[in-house]
Structure 1
């Protein structure tokens, strides 16, 4: 077992970096696709609005809405500020949706619309089924 030698003397001070960046500068220096940032902020506001109105939304709705917002925001960015990634088209993939959900801590948004579709179909059939049950059982 190696033995640790006690340090003799004071601990040297930690060197400070001369260039200090604010949090905003750090974030903007790492973001290369300005329209995508705007899309994600706008979608998050929309999700919050839908939640307040108790309107159910799913991942497919977000994936459908994102590309049109991206095209809208992309047209607003001047060519000088447009990055090479913003010149490409944007695809709201499942991976993008997963990252978006994690970034904005959205846990209640479904990935697919399948369960919502099944619930809607059951809701349409229910009144007729309910009438039959009442008629049969009194």
Structure 2
């Protein structure tokens, strides 16, 4: 269990650095997958308790892993406001210059 949670923490950190959205369900699925993979690497006949990535486990894992700073939600991670600002300015330039004559503008 400890090894799985270490691997899960690394995966969460990597995912948040890539600005990918995380949800409780996604983290639970990844935890179960990691646990099952580690379980399969154990010698035949090793007795391990079954793991269910329950909501209770998830809440305890968040506390143990200090994940209060990680935004875990169903929506996408926050937008890149600098890129959005740059795009807005570029779009305004394009609009002010007008549409080039070789582009046909039609409403469909």
The alpha carbon displacement at 1:69 in A equals: 1.3
Q: Is the 8 A contact 1:67 1:91 kept in 2?
A: yes
Structure-2 residue corresponding to 1:42: 7
TM-score, normalised via structure 2 length? 0.60
Structure-1 residue corresponding to 2:67: 106
TM-score, normalised via structure 1 length? 0.48
Bigger radius of gyration among the two: 1
CA RMSD for the aligned pairs? 2.1
Q: Deviations over 1:60-103 (max 9, x none)?
A: 111111112111101112257x4x4x1x4211000100111111
User: Which residues of structure 2 form unaligned runs of 5+?
Assistant: 77-108
Structure with higher RCO (Cα < 8 A, 6+ apart): 2
Secondary structure in 1 matching 2:16: helix
Count of residues in Structure 1 that have an aligned counterpart in Structure 2: 75
User: Which residues of structure 1 form unaligned runs of 5+?
Assistant: 1-35, 118-138
Identify which of 27, 36, 53 aligns with 2:18.
Answer: 53
